[in-house]
């Protein structure tokens, strides 16, 4: 019996609508359904009161249904996409994880995007869950000048010391408010905390301005060609993930990518 019909039957029984007890397991007859419908039309407050009293449970059921539907849609979408190569520029972009990892995640992100921060945390945990199996490539589509400056500092730092640069990556996401309020002061402090000579990183940003501009422009062009609007977006071995999706969706994509790679 469905959740709603169970509620309706319970309300009907409590309202005294049935004079003769019926087996609890039996499905309501068509006549009973008609009586239930008539009762609820006359007293809609009965069902509304029950729903209000159990609003959290109802929301959980709705959310579970939505998550299940979204997962099914994504899985069908990925089955098609996984064999459709996406052409994007990777040279010069920061990379984390082994070069020969079977799964490549390409992030289109922005250091000052709240959802990008959430997604970066999820992807970080995903890489811990699959040690040695994921390579992360970080591409940027900053919406503000402060976000652009933060991105330039990260790339320049990455070219100097990759391990320290990834520390800087995490700190920059964690301190979005500070970066937004005073980007240069914040990036100098973040670079120093990550173990860099902040003045050296700042000098590299200035001296490599054209190179950094070209990388950012290339990332924007790739996003536009793929139809990506906003951030974050991810490519997991050609499969598109949009937004700060739950860990379960990223796991689905990685598992599908691993199986597809193993089958080749």
Where are the chain's structural domains?
1-43, 77-263
- Structure confidence at residue 81 (pLDDT): 94
- Residue 136, SS3 per DSSP: strand
CA atoms of 55 and 57, how far apart (whole Å): 6
Residues 6+ apart with CB under 8 A from 260: 82, 237
Q: Are 109 and 232 in contact (CB under 8 A)?
A: yes
Instruction: Work out the mean pLDDT of the chain and round it to a whole number.
Output: 87
Decide if pLDDT at 18 tops 50: no
Which tokens belong to 174?
Answer: 């964690």
**H helix intervals, 82-197:** 114-129, 145-160, 162-174, 176-181, 183-193
**SS (HEC) of 221-256:** HHHHHHCCCCCCEEEECCEEEECCCCHHHHHHHHHH
- Structure confidence at residue 73 (pLDDT): 92
- CATH among 3.40.50.11540, 3.40.50.150, 3.90.1150.10, 3.40.30.10 for 77-263: 3.40.30.10
> What is the spatial order of strands in the sheet that 239-242 belongs to?
95-96, 134-140, 103-109, 233-236, 239-242
- Residue 61, SS3 per DSSP: helix
pLDDT digits (tens, 9 = 90+) for 151-195: 999 999 999 999 999 999 999 999 999 999 999 999 999 999 999
- Structure confidence at residue 7 (pLDDT): 57
pLDDT digits (tens, 9 = 90+) for 28-63: 567 777 777 777 777 777 666 766 665 665 555 555
Closest among 126, 124, 136, 125 to 98, alpha carbons compared: 136
């Amino acid at each position: 019996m469905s959740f709603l019909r169970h509620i309706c039957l319970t309300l009907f029984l409590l309202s005294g609508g049935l004079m003769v007890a019926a087996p609890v397991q039996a499905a309501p007859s068509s006549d009973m359904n008609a009586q239930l419908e008539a009762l609820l039309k006359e007293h809609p407050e009965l069902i509304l009161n029950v729903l209000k009293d159990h609003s959290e449970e109802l929301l959980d059921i709705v959310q579970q249904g939505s998550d299940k539907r979204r997962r099914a849609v994504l899985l069908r979408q990925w089955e098609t996409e996984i064999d459709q190569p996406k052409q994007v520029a990777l040279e010069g972009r920061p990379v984390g994880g082994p070069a020969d990892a079977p799964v490549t995640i390409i992030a289109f992100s922005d250091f000052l995007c709240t959802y990008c921060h959430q997604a970066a945390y999820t992807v970080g945990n995903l890489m811990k869950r699959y040690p040695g199996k994921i390579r992360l490539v970080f591409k940027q589509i900053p919406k503000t000048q402060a976000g652009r400056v933060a991105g330039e500092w990260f790339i320049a730092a990455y070219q100097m010391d990759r391990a320290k640069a990834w520390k800087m990556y995490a700190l920059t996401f964690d301190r979005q408010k500070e970066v937004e309020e005073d980007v240069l002061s914040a990036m100098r402090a973040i670079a120093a905390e990550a173990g860099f000579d902040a003045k050296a990183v700042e000098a590299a940003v200035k001296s490599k301005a054209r190179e950094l501009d070209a990388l950012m422009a290339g990332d924007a062009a790739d996003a536009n060609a793929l139809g990506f609007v906003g951030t974050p977006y991810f490519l997991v071995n050609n499969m598109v993930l949009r937004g700060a999706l739950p860990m379960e969706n990223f796991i689905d994509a990685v598992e599908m990518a691993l199986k597809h790679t193993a089958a080749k």
